[in-house]
């Protein structure tokens, strides 16, 4: 390949863990001034590769080059010294410290006796903040900044050295559109300075907007590099999963029943306001919007985890007051939460115990829990949902993301709910399990459940929903039937471009 | 293949390490000194461990539920002083239920603060350690508390008598251990305690009344403290205000030695009993070897750290911490 | 952002407001209730208060940096006792007898060294095994106490050196020696936590350990230094106190860890680490001592002090929680 000398080059990187070949001969390069997307499913090896690049893990084989020089990364600090910088997905900032201290974390300028040279620190920080063109100063406490500004602090950290390569790991995951624009501008500036950029993201539209080349990993193996301007989403997806994912529209053909859940003018402080919608039995209602639009908060309010400040919730036409999840469950509402590991499962517990958790108080024989009844439930849903596990004794922490999600879904199906709310059904789940879960959601609707699906992935929402509620900044912007919705009008609705429409 | 089996042995040792250590320890001491495994010696050890043991059973619930209880020593002093004081004032038959009620009230207060108000349990129970100590001193006026007629009361039954040749404290400890084992491992409440300690948020999302479960663990703990206070009072029929001082940490040591994680969600009543017995037998074994009591402190130190270290090492898959 | 600042102000200023309230209360209540005719806010009384705050205070200051760093040390009471024994006993060693007053700095040196070594043992274990500091120091609380008993059984260790007593009882610019040590320690630690690399890194580690590790901060040595520091301070506290009293019981220093932690938490330091201040702790220490003296002054039983302090600690926690609430929108977890 001709062209300028790469800023960073990997050659035949192999990393093995006991029993797993996490990286199997990965080679690619980033040129100065290039934005190079790195794509792959969860578990494809991206994070392992980043750890190798960052000096956290040592590769078993292979070589990293910076420019033409072979280097061995032994620590994050050394990676930094060589000009390889990371903008982590989970921001690694100390919220109680100032912007300046965070930017120069681990290398504060010092005077004698280990004293911090504050004048120098603030001056250096101000210079960096100036190039980033942000509206806060070096002395601001980081905990007081918005997520987007905190990310700018992380980027500022990358600018303390003259970076050769900067790696962005899902940087837009929690940004608004306006904030994204600022971020992309900063990335363009870095490009102009001749920095090589590795951009990790799942979001195709961003990838096609800002990157020059796309490299794909699958199962720890390098699958090839495409030139962005010469390829399309299908090609990339095929490379990622080895086949294309069926995301065709999928409106219900069966008969729908009565209204199961109706929400009227529901508000919760500043989180969301005046939200109204209905879900019928046998219907899948999709909620689409950006992170922070208030979708999850609506689900939590319906599930009794937040106290609404106004509005009504009606279940089968009857107004109900839901003050706790216990109450919600009793009324036949179930919530598969957004964060599987923190909210959905007790990772140290086995499969059976997790699945029977909401009803363990009822599955008793005399004073004791009936193992027989628990195992019966587990076996029923293991078969029904095709959960792949060696047995009920397995700790759920050892299962794959897809199987974990099925345990959570099974847990709630076993409660025979009338309304099932599924928040981000396929987050962090491999593509194979994704379509299984999509089919499952469709099946549930066909069986007469009223299902609400909240998702940040547009193809997913379009694929599973009969109707779609578009949200922006805590308000319902528009409701679409599956016939009228298009990608364009949906995007317009959730970016606040369209005036608030019908309720 | 051999590396695989070696790994399994390692995992087994790490998981059941405490039991293995206990057995090895008993064998070594038994060989060193025949008296060690004499029946009366064993009964003696278990009997003297009973008070710490009973408290450790209760603290096991609190720790599995994801919290700490540093107030049990102070609370035990309170129970002991109260029951001794009331013994002469309203008679033992009334004094015992009154003392249980007061102790449970304290437990309920802590449970309310930690469970319903969601305050940090370390600091709450630290504050209660101090507050209950003050309460005890106020109750007793700072003086030692003694039963007037020490020979003429049936109250001494719990701490001093034997039934079928077995000291009553042992019977009470054993009975309580069995009951609480059933409560923790067989009932829905027990399952909910594990869930709340293992992942409190997920428990809430599963419709488990987290606050109430935490509250209940402190009631269980307070009940055990009341039993311990009863044993203590009945054994000595007189007491200082500071009889339980410092015991909260010995109790916690026994629970941790039994393998309960301070993060919550793991541990069993059975393992706590093993932890208690290890502490008891170490003390006894070292005494029989003619070593001073303070050696026991140092051996306990080493054993606690080794036990937790092995546990931590097994979980991360390497002996030494990766901290740079 | 303003509400955040206001919250910070309440948190950091709260302890001083509390002290002012205590002073006002005990002064006024003292007029009616006190048996003695002496006013509570008597100058000498306040000087004495500072002096009496010193033993726990010096330890609490060290505990602050340990807790900012995200750890805890339960073994300080035992370290305190062992350092005291080394101090007093070393002055009776034969070769020390011949040194005259030069034995004093040497004895101090031995005692302080003892503290540093014990702290280093804790720090090394926390660092190298990765076992939680709570458990490690819970163990060494027992282990170090074992060393104390090993030294002299259950007998008290005594040695009075009159030069030393004079030094300890001296007043310079009106303040007692112990007070000077308390204030000096506070000043140095304030400087360390706010102005030095080590101090700022301690905050960073307590605040976000992974971030600190990724930034190349060597977490282990920082932990080690801080444990050596608190060991040194526990010993310093013993040195200052026992220079005057001249006799140490093997049970001395028990529960000091709990008092120190109470003072630190009252002073606003977060148990989880990453947030707190030396000045706040100094306030916490003074507040506790004021309460002790004040309750005595108005004729309350000394035993109620424990009760009141315990309840105040809990009240502070409740208040802190209320301040940090997001209001009604909060997720009910």
Alpha-carbon distance A187 to A85, whole Å?
Answer: 13
HEC readout, A253-310 = CCCCCCEEEEEEEEEECCCEEEEEEEEECCCEEEEEECCCCCHHHHHHHHCCCCCCCE
Under DSSP, is residue C71 helix (H, G, I), strand (E, B) or coil? coil
Q: Interior CA angle at A321 toward A317 and A325, to 5°?
A: 110
**pTM for the full predicted model:** 0.86
- CB of B116 less than 8 A from some CB of C: no
Confidence band for A1, pLDDT divided at 50, 70 and 90: very low
- Of A428-432, B265-269, C202-206, C276-280, give the lowest mean pLDDT range: A428-432
Confidence check: pLDDT of B210 > 90: yes
Token couple for B235: 């054994």
Average pLDDT of the segment spanning A225-232: 88
Answer yes or no: are the C-beta atoms of A137 and A126 closer than 8 Å: yes
Instruction: Write the pLDDT tens digit of every residue in B133-151.
Output: 999 998 988 888 888 877 7
Q: Which chains touch A (3 or more CB pairs under 8 A)?
A: B, C
Nearest CA-CA partner of C75 in C117, C108, C41, C24? C117
Interatomic CA distance for residues A406 and A332, integer angstroms: 19
Contact A141 C331 (CB under 8 A): no
Distance CA A219, CA A483 (A): 37
Distance between CA atoms of residues A301 and A321, nearest Å: 11
Which pLDDT does position C299 carry in this prediction? Answer: 76
Give the dihedral sign, CA A243/A248/A254/A259.
positive
**b/e per residue C43-59 (b: at least 16 CB within 10 A):** eeeeeebbbbbbbbbbb
Average pLDDT over residues B282-298: 82
Instruction: Report, as an integer, the average pLDDT of C80-93.
Output: 92
Out of C198, C203, C329, whose CB is closest to A270?
A: C329
Check pLDDT > 60 for residue C176.
Answer: yes
Kindly list the distances between the CA atom of residue A86 and the CA atoms of A90, A234, B51, C211, C214, in Å, as whole numbers in the listed order.
11, 29, 55, 12, 10
User: What is the pLDDT, as a whole number, of residue B71?
Assistant: 93
Is the CB of residue B87 less than 8 Å from the CB of residue B247? no
Residues of A within 8 A of C201 (CB-CB) are 106
Q: Is the pLDDT of residue C192 over 60?
A: yes
In degrees and rounded to multiples of 5, residue B162 shows phi and psi of -125, 150
Determine which of A299, A346, A423 to mutate to test the interface with B (most B C-beta atoms within 10 Å): A346
Instruction: Tell me what pLDDT residue C207 has.
Output: 92
At A227, which helix (H) or strand (E)?
Answer: strand A221-227
pLDDT at residue B300 is higher than 60 = yes
Question: Strand A196-200 to strand C247-248: parallel, antiparallel, or no bridges (unpaired)?
Answer: unpaired
Residues in chain C with CB shorter than 8 Å from the CB of A144 are 1, 4
Q: Is the Cα dihedral B113, B115, B120, B125 positive or negative?
A: positive
Q: Do A115 and C201 touch (CB under 8 A)?
A: no
From C322, C305, C310, C291, select the one nearest C26 (Cα to Cα): C291
CA distance A385 to A443: 11
Distance CA C57, CA C181 (A): 10
- DSSP element (H, E) containing A63: strand A61-66
Dihedral sign (CA A464, A466, A470, A475): negative
Q: Which residues contact C4 (CB under 8 A, 6 or more apart)?
A: A141, A143, A144
Per-residue pLDDT at B2: 44
Q: What is d(CA C298, CA B268) in angstroms, rounded to the nearest whole number?
A: 49
Q: Quote the minimal CA–CA distance from C292 to chain B in Å.
A: 12
Closest by CA to B41, choosing from B29, B52, B28, is B29
Whether residues B294 and C74 touch (CB distance < 8 A) is answered with no
Nearest residue on chain A to C1, alpha-carbon basis: A144
Please name which of A497, A494, A495, A41 lies closest in space to residue A286, comparing C-alpha atoms: A494
> For helices B269-288 and B2-32, what crossing angle results, to 10°?
50
Asked if C143 and B302 come within 8 Å (Cβ–Cβ), the reply is yes
| For range A147-166, the mean pLDDT | 88
Instruction: Tell which B residues from 260 to 299 touch C, by Cβ distance under 8 Å.
Output: 262, 292-298
Among chain C residues, the shortest Cα distance to A92 is held by C211
Percent of chain A whose predicted confidence (pLDDT) is above 70: 93
Give the model's pLDDT for residue B319: 83
Q: Is the pLDDT of residue A416 over 80?
A: yes
> By the 8 A CB rule, do C285 and C60 touch?
yes
**What are the tens digits of pLDDT across the range C282-309?**
999 999 998 888 888 887 776 788 888 8
């Amino acid at each position: 390949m001709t062209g300028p000398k790469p800023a960073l080059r990997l050659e035949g990187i192999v990393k093995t863990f006991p029993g797993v070949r996490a990286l199997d001969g990965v080679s690619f390069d980033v040129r100065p001034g290039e934005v190079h997307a790195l794509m792959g499913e969860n578990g494809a090896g991206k994070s392992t590769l980043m750890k190798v690049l960052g000096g956290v893990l040592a590769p078993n084989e292979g070589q990293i080059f910076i420019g033409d020089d072979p280097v061995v990364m032994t620590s994050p600090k050394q990676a930094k010294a060589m000009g390889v910088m990371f903008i982590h997905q989970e921001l690694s900032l100390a919220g109680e410290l100032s912007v300046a201290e965070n930017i120069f974390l681990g290398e504060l300028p010092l005077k004698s006796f280990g004293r911090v040279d504050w004048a120098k620190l603030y001056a250096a920080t101000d210079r960096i903040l100036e190039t980033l063109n942000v509206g806060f100063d070096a002395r601001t406490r980081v905990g007081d900044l918005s997520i987007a500004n905190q990310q700018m602090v992380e980027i500022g950290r990358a600018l303390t050295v003259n970076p050769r390569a900067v790696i962005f790991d899902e940087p837009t995951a929690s940004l608004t559109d306006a904030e994204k624009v600022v971020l992309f501008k900063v990335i363009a500036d870095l490009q102009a300075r001749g920095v090589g950029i590795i951009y990790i993201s799942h979001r195709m539209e961003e990838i096609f907007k800002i990157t020059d080349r796309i490299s794909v990993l699958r199962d720890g193996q390098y699958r090839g590099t495409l030139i962005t301007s010469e390829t399309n989403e299908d090609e990339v997806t095929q490379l990622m999963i080895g086949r294309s994912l069926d995301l065709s529209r999928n409106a219900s053909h069966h008969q729908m029943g009565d209204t199961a859940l109706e929400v009227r003018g529901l508000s919760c402080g500043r989180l969301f306001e005046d939200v109204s919608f209905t879900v019928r039995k046998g219907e899948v209602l999709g909620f689409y919007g950006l992170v922070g639009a208030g979708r999850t908060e609506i689900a939590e309010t319906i599930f009794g985890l937040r106290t609404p400040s106004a509005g009504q919730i009606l279940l089968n036409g009857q107004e109900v007051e839901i003050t706790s999840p216990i109450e919600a469950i009793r009324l036949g509402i179930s919530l598969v939460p957004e964060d599987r590991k923190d909210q959905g499962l007790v990772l140290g517990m086995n499969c059976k115990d997790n699945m029977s958790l909401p009803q363990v108080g009822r599955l008793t024989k005399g004073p004791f829990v009936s193992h027989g009844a628990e195992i019966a439930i587990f076996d029923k849903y293991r078969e029904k949902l095709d959960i792949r596990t060696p047995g009920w004794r397995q700790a759920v922490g050892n299962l794959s993301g897809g199987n974990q999600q099925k345990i959570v879904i099974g847990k709630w199906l076993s409660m025979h709910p009338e309304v099932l709310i599924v928040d981000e059904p396929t987050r962090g789940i491999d593509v194979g399990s994704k379509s299984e879960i999509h089919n499952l959601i469709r099946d549930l609707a066909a069986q007469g459940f009223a299902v609400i699906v909240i998702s940040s992935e547009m193809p997913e929402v379009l694929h599973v929903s009969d109707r779609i509620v578009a949200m922006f900044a805590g308000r319902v912007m528009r409701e679409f039937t599956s016939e009228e919705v298009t990608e364009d009008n949906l995007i317009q609705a959730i970016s606040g471009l369209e005036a608030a429409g019908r309720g | 293949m051999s590396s695989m089996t070696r790994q399994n042995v390692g995992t087994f040792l790490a998981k059941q390490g405490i039991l293995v250590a206990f057995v090895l320890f008993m064998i070594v001491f038994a060989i060193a000194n025949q008296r060690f495994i004499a029946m009366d010696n064993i009964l003696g050890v278990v009997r003297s461990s009973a008070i710490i043991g009973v408290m450790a059973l209760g603290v096991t619930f609190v720790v599995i539920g994801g919290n700490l209880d540093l107030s049990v020593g102070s609370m035990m002093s309170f129970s002991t002083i109260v029951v001794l004081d009331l013994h002469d004032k309203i008679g033992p038959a009334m004094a015992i239920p009154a003392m249980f009620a007061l102790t449970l009230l304290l437990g309920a207060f802590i449970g309310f603060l930690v469970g319903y108000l969601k305050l940090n349990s370390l600091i709450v129970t630290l504050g209660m350690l101090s507050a209950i100590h003050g309460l005890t001193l106020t109750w007793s006026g700072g003086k030692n508390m003694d039963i007037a007629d020490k020979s003429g009361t049936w109250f001494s039954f719990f701490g001093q008598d034997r039934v079928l040749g077995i000291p009553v404290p042992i019977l009470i400890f054993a009975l309580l251990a069995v009951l609480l084992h059933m409560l923790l491992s067989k009932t829905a409440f027990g399952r909910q305690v594990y869930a709340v300690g293992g992942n409190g948020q997920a428990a809430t999302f599963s419709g488990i009344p987290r606050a109430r479960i935490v509250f209940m663990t402190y009631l269980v703990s307070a009940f055990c403290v009341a039993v311990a206070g009863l044993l203590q009072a009945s054994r000595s029929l007189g007491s200082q205000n500071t009889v339980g001082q410092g015991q909260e940490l010995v109790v916690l040591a026994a629970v941790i030695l039994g393998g309960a994680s301070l993060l919550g969600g793991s541990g069993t009543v059975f393992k706590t009993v093993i932890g208690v017995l290890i502490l008891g037998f170490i003390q006894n074994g070292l005494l029989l070897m003619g070593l001073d009591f303070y050696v026991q402190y140092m051996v306990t130190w080493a054993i606690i750290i080794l036990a937790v270290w092995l546990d931590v090492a097994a979980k991360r898959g390497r002996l030494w911490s990766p901290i740079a | 952002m303003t509400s955040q600042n206001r919250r910070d102000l309440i948190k950091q200023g709260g302890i001083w407001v509390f002290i002012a309230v205590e002073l006002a209360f005990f002064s006024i209540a003292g007029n009616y209730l006190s048996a003695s005719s002496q006013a509570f806010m008597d100058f000498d009384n306040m000087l004495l208060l500072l002096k009496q705050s010193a033993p726990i205070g010096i330890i609490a200051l060290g505990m602050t940096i340990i807790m900012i760093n995200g750890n805890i040390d339960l073994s300080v009471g035992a370290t305190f006792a062992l350092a005291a024994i080394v101090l007093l006993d070393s002055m009776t060693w034969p070769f020390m007898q011949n040194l005259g007053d030069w034995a004093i700095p040497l004895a101090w040196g031995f005692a302080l060294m003892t503290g540093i070594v014990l702290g280093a043992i804790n720090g090394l274990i926390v660092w190298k095994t990765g076992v939680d500091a709570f458990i490690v120091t819970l163990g060494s609380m027992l282990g170090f106490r074992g060393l104390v008993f090993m030294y002299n059984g259950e007998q008290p260790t005594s040695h009075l050196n009159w030069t030393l007593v004079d030094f300890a009882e001296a007043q310079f610019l009106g303040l007692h020696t112990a007070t000077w040590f308390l204030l000096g320690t506070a000043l140095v630690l304030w400087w360390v936590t706010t102005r030095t690399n080590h101090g700022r890194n301690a905050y960073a580690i307590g605040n976000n350990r992974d971030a600190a590790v990724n930034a190349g901060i060597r977490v282990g040595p920082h932990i080690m230094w801080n444990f050596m520091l608190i060991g040194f301070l526990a010993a310093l506290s013993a040195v200052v106190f026992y220079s005057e009293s001249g006799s140490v019981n093997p049970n001395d220093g028990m529960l000091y860890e709990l008092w120190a932690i109470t003072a630190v938490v009252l002073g606003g330091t977060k148990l989880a680490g990453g947030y707190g201040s030396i000045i706040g702790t100094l306030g916490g220490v003074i507040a506790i001592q004021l309460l002790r003296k004040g309750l005595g002054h108005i004729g309350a039983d000394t035993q109620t002090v424990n009760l009141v302090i315990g309840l105040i600690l809990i009240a502070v926690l409740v208040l802190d929680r209320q301040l940090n609430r997001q209001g009604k929108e909060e997720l009910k977890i």
